[in-house]
Structure 1
Amino acid sequence: MSVRATDHGTIEMEGSCGAEDAEALLRHLLSLPGAVVDWRLCDRAHTAVIQVLLASKAQTLGPPRGEWLQRFIDDTMKASATRP
């Protein structure tokens, strides 16, 4: 699984996070309100995963490792996390 919760209350995304990881990410976000999502080791993320991140307005620890995510998604995630 490319998405996992850690013992210290963060959610880690690693490698290529496929559509099947969206449900796991949502489950972790719901069970750990206010958790930071560490996606520094994330190379790719399916749009379903990105949608969960955006909808949750989760704070991310990054930038992600993947160039496309850095270029097109990282700033959007930061802006989303600061909105009320």
Structure 2
Amino acid sequence: MSVRLRDEGTVELAGRCPADDAEPLLRLLLSEPGAQVDWRTCDHLHMALVQLLFIFRPPLVGPPRGDFLRRHVDPLLRRAS
């Protein structure tokens, strides 16, 4: 699975995160209020996961590894926070 709770307070997004990972990410963000999201090894996020990051606005550890995420999504998320 590409979405997991790495340690208390850190949700990790790794590799390619498809739409099926949206529900696990939602559950983790709800059960771990204030959790940071480490996406340094993330190559691709389905838009459903991007939307969750915009809604919850968790602290991000990164930048992400994926070129598109690093160039386009990361700046928008950081500006929105």
State the percentage of identical aligned residues.
51
Q: Distance in 1 between matches of 2:58 and 2:7?
A: 18
Unaligned runs of 5+ in 2: none
Q: Hey, what's the Cα distance between the residues in 2 that align with 1:28 and 1:80?
A: 21
Matched letter for residue 64 of structure 1: P
SS of match in other structure, 1:6: strand
3-state DSSP of counterpart to 1:33: coil
Q: Give the ranges of 4+ consecutive aligned residues of structure 1 lying more than 3 Å apart after TM superposition.
A: none
Partners of 2:79 and 2:31 lie apart in 1 by: 23
Can you list the C-alpha shifts for 1:28-80, whole angstroms capped at 9, x where unaligned? 00000000000000000000010011111111111000000001100111122
1:5-44 alignment runs, 5 A limit: 5-44=5-44
Gaps of 5+ in 1: none
Letter in 1 for 2:10: T
Tell me the equivalent position of 2:49.
49
Which secondary structure does the structure 2 equivalent of 1:26 belong to? helix
Q: Which amino acid aligns with 1:33?
A: P
Alpha-carbon distance between aligned partners in 2 of 1:23 and 1:39, rounded to the nearest angstrom: 17
CA RMSD of aligned residues (A): 0.8
Local SS of the residue matching 2:7? coil
Q: How many residues align?
A: 81
